Every structure is written in C-alpha cells, then in structure tokens.
C-alpha cells in the first residue's frame, strides 16, 4: 500500500490529552509458517456494495481456524475467498487474543488496528481493539499519523502481544488508530507492514518481522507471497522460508536499489513490441498492499489509450468481449520479461463491467517510479529476502 507521508507528534496537546483520558478511563522454530490470505472485494459506495458488506459481516464471523500438518513444519489457516482486490490474513493482538483481518503490506512498515475509542464512522464497521480486555497491553504517549494513497490514520503507539499463526511477538509496538479517513467501504481492520524499519512511523520502532527474526521465531529473514487468481482460494504469506510448490522454474533474484524499501530497478515497459514507459530505466516498488499497477499520469494515460479504455466515474472501462484480444504489457526487470496479459490487468466491478487496473500515483520524484501491485503479483510468486536485500520472482503455479 503506497504510503505518501508519515508524521509524528504533529497534533495539538489538547487532542492528545483527550485521547489519553479516553484510554485511561479503564485500567490498563526453524520452520516455514504459512498464513492463508483471503481475497476480498472492495465495497464501493453503491447500494449493492453496501448490501454485500452487510451480508458479509452477518455470514462470516471473525474466526481463526488453524490447520496443523503432523510430521510437517508448515502451519496454515483456513481461507474464505470473496473475489476481488485485497488479500487479507488473520492475526491476533492482546491477552486473551482479539482477532483482526489485516493487509500484509510490503509498501509500509507499520502495524495498526482501530481502537475501540476510534471516533470515525468507518471504525464502526471494523473489528476494534479493546485495550481494557488485554492483560498485556501497554500504552505509550507517542502519537503517529500516516497518510496512504487511499486514506489517512491518526492515533497512539501501543505495545501488546501479536500472533501471526504460530509466530508470537511479545510487547510488540503497533499503532492504535483513533481517527481515520478515506477507507470507506473497504473490508479490512488494519495493516501489517513488512517493509524496512527506516520508514516506520517513529525513530526506534521495530517492525514485527524484524522482531520475530531477532527473537529467533523464524530461522531465515525471508517471507514470500502466493496470491491466488480467478477467484480461487489458496493465497498465502509464508515466513522463514519458501515453499517451492507455489512456483514454476527458478527464482530470478533482483537486488534492491537501496536496503531501505522493496524497490528494484526496472529496465523498461513495453506493449506491442514497443517501449511505452521506463525507456531509460526506472524504479519499481513491489507492493502487496496495492491492488493495481500504478505509475506516472502521462504514461498511465497512454497505456489506457493503447488498450482503448474509456473513462467513467473513477475508472477506465473496456468492453468485456475484447479482454482476450488486448495486448500484453511486459515489464523487463534485470533482463527478464514479466508478461501481464489483458485478462490479468482487466478486472470486473460489482456490476460485472470490465475496467483497467492501472492507476496514477501522487508521488513527486525526479525518478520515474512504478508500483507493481496484486495485478502483477497474482502471476508471479514473490520472495522478499531481507537478509540479502533482494526480491525473487518466478511464475506462480
């Protein structure tokens, strides 16, 4: 998920004291761990979207169902696939544990969930953390604010026990959201960031993946994603290693430009055997928290023109009957071509109409930058190797 700004201690003392008073009203292995992810639909501000949201909440309780494999070092959780843009996984926070569905996001490094005292209307549609019910909760007086491409959150930094499947991080720092905006209609409770510590919301923060490795909970500083396609179940994020059954051939390893974010050098972008973007090389953020392929305005609009997409509302639409004849877009990274066909970059909205999954970003950078989100990652199994500061890509099964 593209995070555009992070700031700390920028609010008035009056607001901070009000939140502190609210919170103070009540007492204060060597293995690969696989966490199933659920692909869910973005609920747009439509009657059908709201009805789907209400039905989902009624029919799908937040239930963490663990599957154990005897004689194996893999653990997983059951999946429910709701067919669209985001991939969610279950975590728990607190003692006793409270369950949340979060986006596992390589574009940010923070973990946050809403507080039971969150005053925003969108919080009422999410699971909220009840800090008074946790015997291991610890509040700090540090505040934070994060601005993503899709919205903004503000709150306090807290500490508690966090569990990702069998992985346990005690006294883990996380954000307790008190206000949020811009996330209307999205079915997720929070975000679990998996990027580097240097982009975290305050100096000295230790992201959960760092802490798990430092405490020996995982043997290797590696995590990987398999994102299912065509509405199938089976999406997973795995920690501590790689399950080779999820990809074909060999992994192509790509070094990071700098060991501070999951950004690699991309050689070019082409369609119909012509270079259409990134002609002199550019940056590419491999981002599991972004649904689409995101790039500079002029270049994205040119791609939309090439495929004949027409604007309507906030999307660019094509005829569903033309999807199979649309040209592939090819991302060349370290001399390897990663082909994304039309059927992969065209999605359907809740009315069954087909729209292009290309978006314009708001980054102000002297270097051309693209974001390779889930549209790309559904086709390519991705490995994030923190120990060697590199990303591995291979064709997903």
HSE (CB half, 13 Å, CA atoms) of 211?
23
State the catalytic residues.
105, 287
Quote the CA–CA distance of 295 and 293 in Å, as a whole number. 7
Written in H, E and C, the secondary structure of 372-391 is ECHHHHCCEEEEEECCCCEE
For the beta carbon of residue 216, count every other beta carbon within 10 angstroms.
9
Quick one: tokens of 4? 């555009």
Quick one: tokens of 183? 């996330």
Quick one: tokens of 72? 């194996």
Query: For residues 86, 36, 93 and 100, what is the CA-based torsion angle, rounded to 10 degrees?
Result: 40
369-372 β-sheet, strand order: 263-266, 282-286, 369-372, 293-295, 358-360
Using alpha carbons only, give the angle 257, 260, 266 rounded to the nearest 5 degrees.
Answer: 25
Quote the CA–CA distance of 378 and 304 in Å, as a whole number. 21
336-340 β-sheet, strand order: 274-277, 268-271, 329-333, 336-340
Residue with tokens 């973005």: 42
């Amino acid at each position: 998920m593209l995070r555009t700004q992070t700031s700390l201690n920028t609010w008035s003392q009056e607001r901070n004291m009000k939140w502190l008073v609210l919170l103070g009203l009540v007492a204060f292995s060597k293995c690969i761990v696989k966490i199933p992810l659920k692909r869910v639909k973005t609920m747009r501000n439509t009657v059908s979207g709201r009805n789907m949201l209400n039905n989902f909440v009624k029919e799908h309780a937040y239930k963490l169902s663990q599957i154990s494999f005897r004689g194996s070092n893999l653990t997983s959780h059951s999946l429910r696939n709701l067919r669209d843009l985001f991939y969610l996984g279950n975590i728990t926070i607190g003692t006793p544990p409270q369950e949340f569905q979060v986006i596992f996001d390589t574009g940010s490094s923070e973990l946050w969930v809403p507080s039971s005292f969150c005053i925003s209307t969108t919080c009422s549609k999410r699971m909220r953390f009840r800090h008074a019910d946790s015997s291991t909760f610890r509040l700090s007086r540090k505040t934070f604010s994060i601005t993503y491409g899709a919205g903004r959150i503000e709150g306090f930094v807290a500490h508690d026990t966090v569990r990702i499947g069998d992985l346990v991080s005690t006294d883990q720092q996380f954000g307790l959201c008190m206000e949020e905006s811009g996330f209307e209609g999205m079915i997720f409770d929070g975000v679990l960031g998996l990027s580097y510590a240097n982009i975290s919301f305050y100096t000295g923060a230790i992201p959960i993946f760092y802490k798990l490795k430092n405490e020996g909970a995982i043997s290797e500083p590696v995590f990987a994603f398999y994102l299912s396609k065509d509405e199938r179940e089976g999406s997973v994020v795995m920690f501590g290693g790689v399950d080779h059954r999820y990809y074909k051939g060999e992994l192509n390893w790509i070094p990071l430009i700098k060991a501070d974010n999951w950004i690699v050098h991309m050689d070019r972008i082409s369609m119909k055997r012509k270079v259409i973007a990134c002609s002199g090389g550019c940056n590419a953020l491999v981002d599991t928290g972004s649904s689409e392929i995101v790039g500079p305005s002029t270049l994205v609009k040119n791609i939309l023109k090439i495929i004949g997409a027409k604007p309507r509302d906030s999307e660019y639409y094509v005829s569903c009957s033309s999807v199979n004849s649309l040209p592939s877009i090819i991302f060349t990274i370290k001399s390897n071509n990663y082909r994304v066909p039309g059927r992969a970059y065209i999605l359907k909205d809740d009315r069954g109409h087909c729209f292009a999954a290309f978006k314009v970003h708001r980054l102000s950078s002297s270097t051309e930058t693209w974001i390779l989100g889930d549209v790309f990652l559904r086709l390519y199994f991705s490995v994030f190797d923190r120990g060697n500061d590199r990303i591995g890509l291979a064709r997903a099964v």
